[in-house]
Structure 1
Amino acid sequence: MAPPEAEVPAADLGEKIAAKAGAVLLCGGQGRRMGGIEKCLLPLLGKPLWVHAAERLRPQVSWIAVSANRESNRYAAAGLPVLPDRRSGTGPLAGVEAAWEALPPDLSLLLAAPGDSPFLPDDLVVRLFLRMNATGARGAFAHDGARGQFLCALFERRCAESLRDFLDRGERRAEEFLRSIGAAAVDFSDRPADFWNVNAPEDWERILQRAAAERKAR
């Protein structure tokens, strides 16, 4: 009998999980509180914000796509698949739905993460997966100690049909969908700042300050 995932040596665990996981970066927001700009394309240390998020995830998964409805050519320049929403007016879960349809068939897990979060944890997928494995849940999402990060979640492939039915009913809130599939919360209160994203100008300012401080410390 194969050992449980938690018993796989730590050095091999990340690679084992990455071999069956893909990710979608959610870049389809309207950025209303930022004046309607395409916030995932904001430049940070010489690269678009979403590229920093992709670089954090690249070692953790085998496939990455971008969910975007504007500026598709600019996203596509990085060489990753760019997926428009299949339906309008349903928020970021429409991007997750599009990613399920594009996910390579040999992958059984899909991570969703905001494209404007440049400091995502380097063990995000492992920690989410281990919680799923321990609880038998179909999905798991990060909790930063103060609030659930409902757009930073890992799903089993069998969630794809549940999501389609959820959206067909006119539902759209990520928190409600996670509750409907019994997703498990994963405690990331040891690193809440890793989930910073850009909802308002002051958020962008603190991201710039952290990035500058990290570059200076190198």
Structure 2
Amino acid sequence: MKRHGGAQERLAVTARTLVGALAISLPLLLTACGGGGGTQPSGITTTPSGSPSTHSPAVSSSFAFTADGYGMLHPTFLCASQSSLGLVLRAAIASTLTDPNFQTVIRIDITDACQLVPGGSYSLGGATAGGTPFPGQIYFFNGHPSTLLQSTAGTITFSSIGKNTGDPIAGSFTAVVQDNGSSATPKPTYTIAATFSFSAEGAGPIVAQAPLSGSSPP
């Protein structure tokens, strides 16, 4: 009986050890995968919360409009950071993260970066036939504190998804944007497209930008 009791005790210790190891490893897995994500923002703001602690204006920091039917402001500053919203990419008009006149032009929220693959293309505005829905949202603030511009269709593609600080998060998007602030029926729509390259957990001025000729703020 003594031998039997000792075996049971050893099994219990082993079980507790495995449970403890799983409890430690699970948060690490979630952290490596961007914290799990999946939570939609409760409020849409332009405040750069969860901003990166580093200032790394790497050569990968670039942004350029390739189509602009609305009249977007041209951003001068990029930042990429992890927050409660997931991975947040901001193209803004600013000199630093603490610029009191920080104006977000475009914000790309990625609720779960683990769902993205390099070279992958994702549909905007919800699922479409044959398309993979983008696990996030694009907001067009254009320098305003709130936005009535809603992306209703289009695609976003990522050529690289940086995981380490300084790695590029690059790609392009083409969005069909509806102006919900217009009194017209139906609401007018515009096409806005751009290429981008952020530095993971980095912030700094845009070092390469090709303004779209003929575009101007509304």
- Structure with the larger RCO, 1 or 2 (CA within 8 Å, 6+ apart): 2
TM > 0.5? no
Instruction: Kindly indicate which of the two structures has a greater share of residues assigned to strand.
Output: 2
Coarse TM-score class (shorter-chain normalised): under 0.3
When the two structures are superposed, what TM-score results if normalisation uses the length of structure 1?
0.25
Larger radius of gyration: 2
Q: Give the TM-score taking structure 2 as reference length.
A: 0.25
